[in-house]
Amino acid sequence: MIMIWLTGAAVVVPVAACSSSEPAPGKAPQAATLAPEAQEQEPVKTHPFTGMPYESLKPVVAVKIENTAAGKPQLGLKSADIVYVEQVEAGLTRLMAIFSSKIPPKVGPVRSARISDLHIAPQFGKPAFAYSGAQSKLLPYIAEASLFDVGDTRNPGAYYREPGRSAPYNLFARTKKLLSAAPKASKAKDIGFTFGDPPAEGGVERKSYTVRWPAARFTFTWSQAKEQWMIAQDGKKDMAAEGGQLSAPTVVIQYTKTERSEFHDSNDSYTPLVHTTGKGSAIVLRDGKAYKAKWERESEDGGTTFTTESGEPMNFAPGQVWVALASRKPVIP
Task: Look at phi and psi of residue 108 and say left if phi exceeds 0, alpha if psi is from -120 to 50, else beta.
Answer: left
Q: Could you read off the pLDDT of 100-122 as tens digits, one per residue?
A: 999 999 999 999 999 999 999 99
Cβ neighbours, 10 Å, residue 114 = 26
Q: Could you read off the pLDDT of 46-102 as tens digits, one per residue?
A: 999 999 999 999 999 999 999 999 999 999 999 999 999 999 988 899 999 999 999
What is the DSSP track for 138-163? THHHHHHSSSEE--TTT-GGGEEEPT
Mean per-residue pLDDT over the chain, rounded: 88
Look at residue 101 and give its three-state secondary structure: coil
Range 61-326 classified under CATH 3.40.50.300: no
Look at residue 121 and give its three-state secondary structure: helix
pTM: 0.85
Confidence of residue 25 (pLDDT cuts 50, 70, 90): very low
3-state helix, strand, coil in the chain (%, to 5): 10, 40, 50
Q: Answer yes or no: are the C-beta atoms of 131 and 110 closer than 8 Å.
A: yes
**CA distance linking residue 91 with residue 85, whole number of Å:** 12
Domains of the chain, residue spans: 61-326
Confidence of residue 265 (pLDDT cuts 50, 70, 90): low
What is the DSSP track for 164-209? T--TTTTEEEEHHHHHHT-TTPPBP---S--BSSPPSS--EE-SEE
Q: Could you read off the pLDDT of 281-292 as tens digits, one per residue?
A: 999 999 999 999
Nearest to 82, CA basis, from 272, 324, 306:
324
Helices first, then strands: H and E counts in the chain: 3, 23
